[in-house]
Structure 1
Amino acid sequence: MKKILTYTLFFGLFILLGCRDESLNPMPGWEPGVHAFGVFADIAEPKDGAGSRPNAVTNAVNFPLTNQSAAKENLKIRWVSLDNKLTVNKVEVYINMLESYNDADGNPKSASLGAKLIKTLSPAAGNREWTAFSITPDDVYALFKDATVKYDGTNAVKVFENPARPRVAGQRLLNAGTVNKLAVSADQFVMTWKLYTTDGLVFSVWNSDSICGDPTPYSQASANCSLTWTVK
C-alpha cells in the first residue's frame, strides 16, 4: 500500500511539473548585463591572474597640494559584457567630493557634496577595451564651487569660502591638516559611472560583493564600481 501511494505521489508531481505553464512563473529569467572597470591610467596593469589591482587601489594616485591648475588625474575605463549580448555606447562619469571638518563641538565630520556628472564618454572601443580621459582639480572646482555645508548646523556656507579652511587659487583642494588645533582629513573624491547600451538599457547599480568588491584575480573581466583619491 505504501509503494502504491509513493508511486501515485511521484507520478502526480511529475505530471504537475511537466505540464506547468512557464508564462505564469512569477520568477523573472536572467537578463544580460554589463559592468565596468575604472583604473588610474598612470599605473601599469597587472598580468592576468594577478591577485592585486594596484591601478584601482584607493589613493593610488592623488591630486597635488600645489600648482593644481596644471595637474590632472589620468584615468581609463572599459565596459564588459560577459556574454557579448550588449554594447555600451555612452558612459557617464560622476564625482562626489567629501570635505572633512570639525563641527562646533570639535567633533570630526565629513560632508558629502553629492555625486555630479563630470564627464560624458562615447566609447569607440569595443567590449573590454579602454577609453581614456582625465579629470583636473579645476574640473572639480567648477562642479562644486557653489556647494554649501551647514558647518554650525544652521547656516549654509560655500565650501570654497569656509573661513575655517581657507582655499586660494592654485590650491583650492586641501590635504590633511589642522583646524583650531584639531586634525582634519584631506578632501576626498569618489568617482562612479553609469553605462548606457544601444538597446536603451541603463546600468548604474551593481552587486556590492561580486562586482563592486570583485574578489577574483585580475583579468579582462575584472570589475569595480568606483575609484577614490585625495590630495597629497
Structure 2
Amino acid sequence: MKKTIIYAFTIGFLTLIGCRDESLNPIPDWEPGVHGFGVFADITEGAVGSSNKANIADYGKNFPLSAQNADAAKVNFKLRWVSLDNKLTVSKIEVYVDMIESYTDPDGNPKTASLGSGGVLAKTITPAAGNRQWNAFSLSPTEVYNLFKDATVKYDKVNAVPVFNNPATPRPAGAWFNKTDKFVLTWRLTTTDGLVFKTWEPSSICADPTAVSEASANCSLTWSAR
C-alpha cells in the first residue's frame, strides 16, 4: 500500500512539473545590456590626491577662470562601452554636460542651479573601437561656455537673470567661470538594434569600489574651475 501511494505521488508530481506553463513564471529572463566607463584621459590610476578610482569621481582636471587661452585648457576624456556577454554592439555615444552654479538665495540659504536641467548634448561619437576599447575626445571651456551662455536662473525665485550677466554677482572681467562652478559629464549609449542605455544601478555599477578594470563602470565625471 505504501509503495502504491509513493508511486502515485511521484507520477502526480512529475505530471505537474511536465505541465508547467513557463509563460506564467513571474521571474523574467535576463536581457543583454551594456554600460559605459569614462575617465579623465590625463589622469592615471592611483594618482596623487585621488582615490582608488581616481578617474571616476575626483576632480581630475579644471577649467581656467579666464576666457583667455581657453581652448588650450581643454579637458581630455576617454569612454568605452562594455558588453559582458558580447550580445550587443554600441553604434552611438552621446555625451552630455551639465553646469552647476552655486549661489545664495534671498533667505541666505546656499543653493545650486543645474543650468542644463541634468545635461545638454555636447558631442555625438561614433565609436571607432569595439567592445571594451577606448574612444577619445575632449571638451574646451569655449565649447562648454557656448552651451550655457544663454542660461538664466531665478536667483530671487521670481525673475530669470542671465547667469553670465548677473548684476548682483558680476563675474570678473574676462572671466567665464567662478571657483564654485562645477561641470558634470554623463553619456548615453545606443546599440545597433536601437536600445538606449543612460542609467545604471547606483549602488553597484556606479559605486563600484574596485580598481579600474574592463568590467568597471561609472555614471559621471565631475570637474571644476580654478
CA distance in structure 2 between the aligned counterparts of 1:35 and 1:163, rounded to whole angstroms: 43
CA distance in structure 1 between the aligned counterparts of 2:194 and 2:82, rounded to whole angstroms: 16
Match of 1:195 in 2: 189
CA distance in structure 1 between the aligned counterparts of 2:97 and 2:3, rounded to whole angstroms: 67
Match of 1:44 in 2: 44
Alignment of 1:68-83 (within 5 A): 69-70=70-71, 71-83=73-85
Match of 1:60 in 2: 60
Q: Does residue 116 in structure 1 map to residue 116 in structure 2?
A: no
How many residues get paired? 218
* TM-score where L is the length of structure 2: 0.87
Displacement after TM superposition at 1:215 (Å): 2.8
Alignment of 1:188-227 (within 5 A): 188-227=182-221
Q: Deviations over 1:183-207 (max 9, x none)?
A: xxx1011111000011111111111
* CA separation of 1:31 and 1:105: change in aligned 2, threshold 3 A: same
Partner of 1:55, secondary structure, is: helix
Q: Deviations over 1:120-147 (max 9, x none)?
A: 0111101111111111111111111111
CA distance in structure 1 between the aligned counterparts of 2:197 and 2:93, rounded to whole angstroms: 10
Amino acid at match of 1:93: V
1:90 corresponds to which of 64, 85, 92: 92
Displacement after TM superposition at 1:4 (Å): 8.5
* TM-score where L is the length of structure 1: 0.85
* CA separation of 1:116 and 1:2: change in aligned 2, threshold 3 A: farther
CA distance in structure 1 between the aligned counterparts of 2:63 and 2:197, rounded to whole angstroms: 29
Q: Deviations over 1:2-57 (max 9, x none)?
A: 998888667645432332121333432101100011110011246xxxx8121223
* CA separation of 1:162 and 1:3: change in aligned 2, threshold 3 A: farther
Segment of structure 1 superposing worse, 134-143 or 19-28: 19-28
CA distance in structure 2 between the aligned counterparts of 1:2 and 1:194, rounded to whole angstroms: 64
Gaps of 5+ in 2: none
Q: Deviations over 1:140-176 (max 9, x none)?
A: 111111111110011011111112332357421111x
Partner of 2:169, secondary structure, is: coil
CA distance in structure 2 between the aligned counterparts of 1:134 and 1:121, rounded to whole angstroms: 11
CA distance in structure 2 between the aligned counterparts of 1:94 and 1:6, rounded to whole angstroms: 65
